[in-house]
Structure 1
């Protein structure tokens, strides 16, 4: 009964995370679109920057933006913050449930760096805190006065962290660590900069003082960062299920490419919302980056497996008996009707690899997870060797024969 409760707890938190993320991303995208589509006109209040007319659900909306604040506050004011907070809190809960409580499987890879669970968790938490502090310092430094220079510095910083985390954690762990870090940066922007600055503006207005216009400018800068980082975070959430994204030797470069792709796609939509012009070059550039991602993912697993696959593999055809021996000895302790690995109570994703027929049925999954990448076994806990991965790769490339 305890295992069933645990599974539903995991599922429930994940569902909440997705719901909150949809709400946060949706409101963020809407307000960026609104901000860029505003147009000034005569007759608006002098504090107003511009207005936009919109139609939705059978009704018309007249939206007016004030750069600082109106002369008097309305009785009701909606604050958009809980979507961001709930997304981060549920994501943090998932990080604990999956990656910290299952650190030996999902966060640690002894072939990368043999760490005790407590040390890996401490490095993860410390990395999140330090990452935010460095990013926040960059924004507050002289670099923050130039959005382009700050964006370039932030990109280099994220790529360097992605590479560094890959030297510490498993491929899956490093990938999710970067997703957690970017998400932490985004929600900290809301919690520590955007909302406090807005509260200061409101407080000054109520006190009859002139609000500091730099407060709004700083909040807008952080909001713009969140807008351009949203798509890479979504990619990490989805990419966690695709080993070619995180379990190859150039996973850090793949993530760097995705960050640029996400920025290009957002630039396309932001430009279209502001000017109505639909530029095509961001899509061509994104397509080229996607080809680069595919090429990088084809270069093989990370860590000590790199460069060994071709040399380790057999010269001739692979017998199915050898494949079956590898899979049953390295994989079936979890992928069985009654798993024997401690902490695994049901076969992951209901994948069974106990019989020859089950192995042949899952040939593609085996190749993607354990041959062309090092995603499985998680953290290489069963110590699958490069030679064994090469056998599985050649078996799949040879048609996954059952002979």
Structure 2
């Protein structure tokens, strides 16, 4: 069964590679069209129905682009749709959520010091939050509030802050930030799949039938595109945050998340204003810098657990208990405490390491058992840890870690075989 861990890790790597690739394509095209839209210039010579035009140069050639706000008089022979970038990004991201967080829910999704959930309960809450979040957002957009762009965005911001707080009350800090990214990305991709593309198809159908398209479909699509524009940078932050415990593993992680959404607005406002040729609002960078400094300060506030929370966190799941009870555990624990625990501790003692790497602590039996697979893959099967082998772990010690993990995961097979006899 240890081969399963290796195959699972490679599958996670492959899906992550796909997710990053598709995200680059989606975000790149999104940023390009926002800049293009804001940079359009109205000129007298434009054909009937054209809203604006722009000249661009790239790759040794010139491009002359015209935009029709509703639709051109006639449908062109070839029409390029921009939708699969969004769909592929969401699907690959959801696959990553399933592989990493649902597949290892006990380690990455659940934090018993926050809320003692079963794996099924945690996965159900995760899925429900994504679905209900989209329904609530869509309801707000279609309500009378949807006619007031900035009022709607203020309410949406309050909803995102509430979700940030809610996720940190249910999941681990790492999973909470990842879910904020997934929650926001679900809204963005659903905007494309359920609103923007269907509205464009209605316009195309009207053109084919010889009808004059209703301009409301363009207005609705543009509003959803505006939301996607301001949500993009926070999504990227939350997706990267799992590598930085100072962001997610602190007492005020939900406040940090709330400020990240604000930074997304200030940064995009500068770019949007520049692209629209309406000046250079340099004040947005000052506000962004102040928000980031506040985030840095909040990240230094230690997360304080009550006695009950510490007791829950120390409790092992049945799977973790199996690793702690294995005959090889004592030898593996000696290796980890000798070669790893000086950095992976609440207060690292290795020179230059001021914070626990990725918030992974390996000081107690429970902590070591909880991270058995990561220890096996990072320090047993590969030489990723310790970095540069700074602590001098030997091949024999790596073999001890491999023997411990493989013995533990093969134990159920042995028990079933014994039961058969």
User: Which TM-score band applies after superposition, normalised by the shorter structure?
Assistant: 0.7 to 0.9
Structure 1 residue 275: Cα displacement: 1.2
Paired residue total: 344
Rate the CA distance shift 1:164–1:267 in 2: closer, same or farther, 3 A: same
Rate the CA distance shift 1:306–1:201 in 2: closer, same or farther, 3 A: farther
Tell me which residue corresponds to 2:52.
50
Query: Is the counterpart of residue 369 in structure 1 residue 356 in structure 2?
Result: yes
- The answer to whether the 8 Å contact 1:112/1:304 transfers is no
Rate the CA distance shift 1:161–1:254 in 2: closer, same or farther, 3 A: same
Rate the CA distance shift 1:195–1:306 in 2: closer, same or farther, 3 A: farther
Cα deviations by residue, 1:50-75 (Å, 9 ceiling, x for unpaired): 00000011100000000011111111
Structure 1 residue 356: Cα displacement: 3.7
Query: Is the counterpart of residue 17 in structure 1 residue 19 in structure 2?
Result: yes
Cα deviations by residue, 1:101-143 (Å, 9 ceiling, x for unpaired): 1111011111111011000100110011111111111111111
What CA distance in whole angstroms lies between the structure 2 residues aligned with 1:212 and 1:70?
Answer: 13
Rate the CA distance shift 1:361–1:181 in 2: closer, same or farther, 3 A: closer
Rate the CA distance shift 1:210–1:225 in 2: closer, same or farther, 3 A: same
Tell me which residue corresponds to 1:354.
336
Unpaired segments ≥5 residues, structure 1: 309-329, 343-351, 385-403
Tell me which residue corresponds to 2:230.
228
What CA distance in whole angstroms lies between the structure 2 residues aligned with 1:357 and 1:124?
Answer: 36
CA RMSD of aligned residues (A): 2.8
Q: So what's the TM-score if we normalise by structure 2?
A: 0.77
What CA distance in whole angstroms lies between the structure 2 residues aligned with 1:102 and 1:360?
Answer: 26
Tell me which residue corresponds to 1:75.
77
Cα deviations by residue, 1:32-58 (Å, 9 ceiling, x for unpaired): 000000001011111100000000111
- The answer to whether the 8 Å contact 2:341/2:361 transfers is no
What CA distance in whole angstroms lies between the structure 1 residues aligned with 2:252 and 2:244?
Answer: 14
Query: Is the counterpart of residue 190 in structure 1 residue 192 in structure 2?
Result: yes
What CA distance in whole angstroms lies between the structure 1 residues aligned with 2:198 and 2:24?
Answer: 24
Structure 1 residue 237: Cα displacement: 1.1
Q: So what's the TM-score if we normalise by structure 1?
A: 0.80
Matches within 5 A, 1:252-271: 252-271=254-273
Q: Secondary structure at the match of 1:168?
A: coil
What CA distance in whole angstroms lies between the structure 1 residues aligned with 2:24 and 2:249?
Answer: 27
What CA distance in whole angstroms lies between the structure 1 residues aligned with 2:203 and 2:335?
Answer: 61
Unpaired segments ≥5 residues, structure 2: 311-315, 326-333, 369-421
Cα deviations by residue, 1:196-251 (Å, 9 ceiling, x for unpaired): 00000000111111111010000000001001000000001111100011111111
What CA distance in whole angstroms lies between the structure 2 residues aligned with 1:359 and 1:201?
Answer: 62
Tell me which residue corresponds to 2:183.
181
What CA distance in whole angstroms lies between the structure 2 residues aligned with 1:230 and 1:196?
Answer: 22
Q: Secondary structure at the match of 2:366?
A: coil
- The answer to whether the 8 Å contact 1:250/1:302 transfers is no
Query: Is the counterpart of residue 285 in structure 1 residue 287 in structure 2?
Result: yes
What CA distance in whole angstroms lies between the structure 2 residues aligned with 1:64 and 1:353?
Answer: 66
Tell me which residue corresponds to 2:129.
127
Q: Secondary structure at the match of 2:65?
A: strand
- The answer to whether the 8 Å contact 1:249/1:306 transfers is no
- The answer to whether the 8 Å contact 1:52/1:64 transfers is yes
